[in-house]
Structure formats: C-alpha cells, structure tokens
Amino acid sequence: MTVKKIECGDGTYKVRTCAWSPPGDHPVGCGMYLTVKDGKVVKAEGDPEHPITNGRLCVRCLALPEWIYNDKRITTPMKRDPRDRGLDKWEPITWDEAMDIIEAKVREIHEKYGYEYIATFQGTGRVATLYAPSLAFAALQTPNAGSVLAGESCYGPRCCVANFILGAGYPELDYAAFFPERYDDPRYKVPEYIVIWGKNPLYSNPDGLFGHAIIDLQKRGSKFIVIDPRITWCAAHAAFHLQLRPGTDAALGLGIANIIIQEDLYDHEFVENWCYGFDEFAERAAEYPPERVEEITWVPKETIIAAARAIGNADPCSFLWGVALDENPNGVQAGHTFLAIVAITGNLDVPGGVTLAVPASFMGKWRYDCSLQIPPEVYDKQIINPVHKAYVARQQGHPDSMLDALETGVPYKVKMAWFIGTNPLPNMGVQTKRWEEAFKTLELNVIQDTTMTPSAMAFCDIFLPVSTFAEQTGIVLPHFGRNTHMLGVTNQAIDMDCKSDLEIAMMIGKRLNPKAWPWETVEDFFTEQIQTKLDMTYEDLQDENLIQLDFEYKKYEKGLLRSDGYPGFNTPTGLVELRASIYPDWDEDPLPYFKEPPFSPLSKPELADEYPLVLTTGGRMIPYFHSEGRQIPSLRDLVPDPIVTINPKTAAKYGIEQGDWVRMRSPFGECIQKANLTIEVDERVIHATHGWWFPEQDGEAPNLYGTYKANVNNLIPHHVVGHMGWGAPYKCMICSIAKVDSMEDYDPTYPTEPYEVDPDYSLDLKTLMHFGKFDPEHPEETYKLAYASDRKEA
C-alpha cells in the first residue's frame, strides 16, 4: 500500500500518523508528522489538526529518531544456543530461519506433550496487547496466554470489575473526546469536579486517556479531588487531596459512600431505577463512619466529609481510577466501591460524567473468536489455581499460578515460552530471580522486542526484532477497543526490515494454523475488523487519518449496552450491581469490604520494628514507559537514576541525605535507589520507582545490565493476591531503609530461608512446599478445592 507523502521541497517529505507503539505508550493515538530524509526519520512533530492532542507531544515521541537509530537497536532476527543463555553469543539469522526453528519446536511440543505445554507472556500498554492473546490461541493454539504481572495488577482488574458490576467496557472520564467541537459541543457539560483516584494522568496518559485533557478542563473551571499517597502535581493543585495510607482505598471509598448516603446526596432516581442492592450496600457502607475511616486511612475525617459532599453535590462529577486500585490484594473491592460511588451519584454515562461502552467495541469479537480455536478439553488445562474461581471465568492464564506450575510441576510444567512486548525481569514480575530460574529450564524461549533487554539476555533463544510505529502499518484503539472514542491510523514512514507484532503473529499463524489467518496483508485484516462496525476500508481510514466515533449518552436507557436491545445494563439483574449477584458463585462477598494489606504495620505487627515503613511503588516518569527508554540519551538525561522518595524527617532519622544510595529491604528481598528528599510523601511512607536496568552496564549474566540492583519488585511477595485472583501488593508493602555507599559496590542479598507464608493469604506453592504445607501429589488439600470439579463449576 502506498502511504500518502507530503513533499516539503527540500529533499524531505512528511508522513501524517497516529502513534501507539513501540516505543511504548498507551493507545492515546497522539497525532504527529514524521519528517523523512534519505529514507530516515529525522524529526517528529505534533499534528495541530489532531482533535485530541492538538499538536502536543511528550518527550518520548519527540525522541523517536533517537530510538529508531540507537546503537542498541536490533533490526535482524537472532538465535542463540539454549546452553549459552545469559551470554552474548547471538547469531543473526533470517526471518524464514527464525520461523523454521519456532515452527519445528512448536510442532514437536504439540506432538510430544500437548498444545497446552506452550505459554505466552505479554506486556502492558503496547499495541502487542491486541495481538498477544490471538498469537497464543489462534497460532500456537495454547490456552496459556498471560503475563508475569502478579495478580494481573494492571488494567485487567478494573476491566473485569466493570464487567461484573456494570456489564460495560472500561468507564472513562468524559473529556468530550467523541465530539469534533470537543468542549464546545452543545451536548457536553464541563464537570464541576474530577476525582483522580490512584492515577497521575499527566505523567502516564493511561490506557487511551490523553492526560493533558484534565488541564484543558481545569482551565474551563473543573476542580480536582485527588486520592493518592503522594503529593503529585494534580494533588498540589487540587481542591481536596486525600493522602491515604497505601492499600486502604476500599475503606476510604466506603467511607465516602457512607457520607453521600447518610447526608442524602445520592441520585434517588438513578438508584431506584438502575441499581441493584442499594439497601445492602448502604448497610455495608455504614460500617465505615468517618472516625473509623480516618483511623484506617490516615486521612482526616474533616477532609473525607468535605470531599464526599463535593462529590455528592457536584453537577456533574467525573472520575478517573488508576493502577493503584489494581496493585492491591483488596483492589477488586476498591474498584467495586469506586463504581458504586459513580453510580449512586448519577454520573454514569451523562455529559461530563463517566462514559460507558459495550465491553469490546472494536476487535473484541476477533479476539474472542480466536479463543474458540482451543478445544474445550485443552482449554480446561489452562494453568489457573482453582481457588481463583472468577479468574477461571476470565479465560486467561494466571501469572502467579504459572510460576507455581513452573516451580512445582503442578498441574504441569510448560516447555516453551513466547514473550510479546514485555521485559519481565526489571518491570513486571515479582521475585524475578525465581522467574529467571524457571524460564531457564524451558526448552525454547522466544522474545520479540526492539532492543536487547535483561530478559532477552537472561533466558531467550530466538530474538525477533519489532518495528517501531514509524515502520509499521497499524491502527490505534484507545482503551484497546473497550471504550473507544476514535479510530486512528499508524502509517509506515520507513522500512527497517523489522516486523510488527501483528505481522509476526500472521507469519507463524499461517504456518501452524492457516485457517485462522486467512488475510494476505495486514491491510486486509484491518479492513475486516473495521467493517464489523463501520462501512469503510482501511484505505478509507488512511485517507481520514483518524475518525471520531459516534456517541450517545445514557445508553442504558436506550438498549445500547445489552445485546438483546433491552434498556439496562448487561449484568444478570440488568442493573448496576451494588451487590454483585455473581460473586457468591465464586465464594466472594457480594458487597465491597476493606481488608488490611497482607503486609502492613497492622497486619504484621511482629515485623513492625524491623520493617517500620510503608512502601509504595511504580509512580510514572515522563521520559520512560515502564522499562523502556533507559538507552535513549536525551531521555536518560532527564531521569538518570532510579529514585526513592523519602520525607526529609524520615531521611534524617536514618542519616540519609539528598542523592545518597538507599537500600530498601522487606522480608522477601532488597534493592537500592537514589534518595530524593521531599514532603511529597508522608513520614511513614516511601515511594520507589520501577522498571530500572542499566544498558551501559555489562549485559551478560549474572549482572544482566544491573537489573536486580535497583529492582524494587525484589521486595514484593509472590502469589499474595486477592481471593478472586487479582491484585498484588506492589503499592502496599512494608520495608526498612539504610544508606549504602555506592551502586558499584552493591549486590542484592536474598533471604537464606524463605519467609513462612500461610495458605490463607498466600498460595506460593514452592514456599508452602518448603514448609511442608503443600503436597504436589495431593494439591487439593492446600487448594481446599479439587481441580476438575471446581473448573467445571466455574
């Protein structure tokens, strides 16, 4: 396909495009022009006619030429003998050679062991998110599609809670993104307040939301209510900042709901017509009066009451919920409470409130149909701890259960892994030394990425080079199709002989399961997907560059959220389920509740002297997308080191000064980061950044680009998740701190004896087995459930 070029008259031309990844970012679809000279991208600049971003770009997009031509970029497939894992002994090969090796091994495993003995692991946010499950289901034909992110603690929990409670796709702040006239559209109303809960949108632009939109709204009069343990920019400019103790979101939410109900600030008409279980929910919320909530959360009751009144009286009030609700074993309940507040205040799918859509507006049917490629008898072998009944219903492999299986062989151990858009060692996995050792036992590991990473160096055998968005033909779907306000095009500006994630899936899919991959080109594929909703081809979309999609408010009144066309919500009751009717089937309380974090000063008082501080992690940094970008000079100059944020009073207590290297330690491990002293955090809390590795260091094992030295996930326990399978304590852990001399002289130490866990709150099978609490021959004694009967019931 010929891409439209805008000739500049000086030997250069421009290509108009919408960005997604790689390099990373969520599917905001930032509009830009790429200037090409002599076949190379020399400049990225904003597209002022883009209706959402209006010409604004962040530093990651501006640094695109650096990324494409960085000396660490890999542009040819490579292989390595599995016996040389950890060593830089890669050999270049052709794409056909790479596919031959992979195809032969997949067919061998299918014949020798079974289809389920292969697993895929995807990252978060990249365009690969659209294609990784289908690579597993429709190409490799395995049910084991997932990630290494403990408790799948990013986006997925919120999406699932929205499905359970609303029967709708991801609910999002209404920032007039559907309308060509944006905020001036007569249908739109600027929100009086915006509740920003566990999210820092200016730094993260998460999941399809253009973060700067909240500044646009602030200029038009919106005020912020920020719920965050840190004083972010938004918190510093908020009408109310509820600086809660990490991990206590559910208690705070129930407390806010209680005030709204007790003071009669809820929307009676919406509650009476469209909500199920209000009386029971009100009774549960009444268990959380302001005094109790203050004691739990550390937020003054006066602030809680004032913020609740502002939410209840606002007309309208909009809401943002972030990953902080996912990275918490109590996060499902916190998300339930969040949606309940949005609902009872009448802010669901109204102008300036929170927009709704069906769960998968675009490409969802294709991804679901791909899962049907797996015969039921094979799907039943998906690796999920059967205790997590709700997760069984999700039809996706459970990360913690996968590590358990790799380490114990229960229920079986896979033989091959494929990594798509993920760098698990420095970024997603907890206890990543264990993941590394487990992956090194597999027969073949394949990774697709743009640059060599610690994960690729540690345990992979085939490296497939992925094209940047400047080199690929693609599509942009904000919220991955779940609440999509626009459809954008990624236009190929140059060719580096790399392949997109979709092209790689099609290449191997056509070899292994050609009936599931009938398209000749990616353009043919996109045309078919577009035409499930719109009367246009991919070429038509290219002519437009992007289109904003039609939108209607109050879809629940018009039968637009249900497949049967009836008014209401796509839930068992047809209503917003303040009391979740399906939860009892999964042995879960149908009403939200607060549960103390599994490792906190209150839940583990015997550890409080040794680990007196609360650790929260993962705050976003503008130059980086998770572990991406550390090798890009202009980005690294902005944030050169991993940062732990400490209150100055706390630092003084431990003899720590600005810029000192600080060792953080928990019962599970340790790491070091550089101290930044600021009142941004409470004296009882520290915050550490994530995703760190050092491309300038030795890449070979055991150093692996220094990834373990600064890896805060060393401190987070394995398989300590919520009852339903979601949420790990990335953002609510206990720790100690101490000054260290330098990074060069530091090597992390690991506990010589594992911390003894209890099956009631942890299902870390290897550790349970170490202490005689798990018998691989009789796993049901630990699970309290039998595999086959539970899976069938779920």
pLDDT digits (tens, 9 = 90+) for 16-27: 999 998 997 778
pLDDT at 431 over 90: yes
Tokens of 91: 């050999």
The confidence score (pLDDT) of residue 1 equals: 57
Residue 541 or 768, more confident:
541
Rounded to two decimals, the pTM is 0.96
**Residue found by looking up tokens 């909703």 in the block:** 533
Q: What are the tens digits of pLDDT across the range 581-623?
A: 999 998 899 999 999 999 999 999 999 999 999 999 999 999 9
The confidence score (pLDDT) of residue 133 equals: 92
Q: What is the pLDDT confidence band of residue 786, given thresholds at 50, 70 and 90?
A: very low
Average pLDDT over the chain, rounded to whole?
Answer: 93
DSSP state at residue 378: H
Show Cβ contacts of residue 231 under 8 Å, excluding neighbours closer than 6 positions: 241, 243, 679, 680, 681
Q: What are the tens digits of pLDDT across the range 260-271?
A: 999 999 999 999
The confidence score (pLDDT) of residue 723 equals: 87
Say whether 336 sits in a helix, a strand or coil.
helix
Separation between Cα atoms, residue 512 and residue 166, nearest integer Å: 38
**Chain centroid, CA 30 distance in Å:** 19
Q: What are the tens digits of pLDDT across the range 634-643?
A: 999 999 999 9
Q: What are the tens digits of pLDDT across the range 191-236?
A: 999 999 999 999 998 888 999 999 999 999 999 999 999 999 999 9
Antiparallel, parallel or unpaired: β 172-173 and 354-355: antiparallel
User: What one-letter code names the amino acid at 329?
Assistant: P
Q: What is the pLDDT confidence band of residue 794, given thresholds at 50, 70 and 90?
A: very low
User: Which has the minimum average pLDDT: 52-61, 80-89, 474-483, 591-600?
Assistant: 474-483
Q: What is the pLDDT confidence band of residue 393, given thresholds at 50, 70 and 90?
A: low
pLDDT at 359 over 50: yes
User: Which has the minimum average pLDDT: 242-251, 261-270, 336-345, 525-534?
Assistant: 525-534
State residue 346 phi and psi, 5-degree precision: 75, 30
The confidence score (pLDDT) of residue 760 equals: 67
State residue 402 phi and psi, 5-degree precision: -65, -45
In angstroms, how far apart are the furthest CA atoms of the chain? 75
pLDDT at 170 over 90: no
Tokens of 155: 């986006």
Q: Are the beta carbons of 148 and 422 closer than 8 angstroms?
A: yes
State residue 586 phi and psi, 5-degree precision: -105, 20
The confidence score (pLDDT) of residue 503 equals: 97
User: What one-letter code names the amino acid at 298?
Assistant: W
**Nearest in space to 203 (alpha carbons), one of 64, 297, 335, 320:** 320
Q: What's the whole-number mean pLDDT along residues 464-493?
A: 92
Q: What is the pLDDT confidence band of residue 360, given thresholds at 50, 70 and 90?
A: low
Q: What is the pLDDT confidence band of residue 790, given thresholds at 50, 70 and 90?
A: very low
Q: What is the pLDDT confidence band of residue 787, given thresholds at 50, 70 and 90?
A: very low
The confidence score (pLDDT) of residue 395 equals: 66
Polymer length in residues for the chain: 794
Could you tell me the CA-to-CA distances from 588 to 16, 153, 163, 581 in Å, in that order?
50, 19, 16, 10
pLDDT at 517 over 50: yes
Q: Are the beta carbons of 198 and 325 closer than 8 angstroms?
A: yes
User: Which has the minimum average pLDDT: 38-47, 364-373, 765-774?
Assistant: 364-373
Separation between Cα atoms, residue 347 and residue 314, nearest integer Å: 10
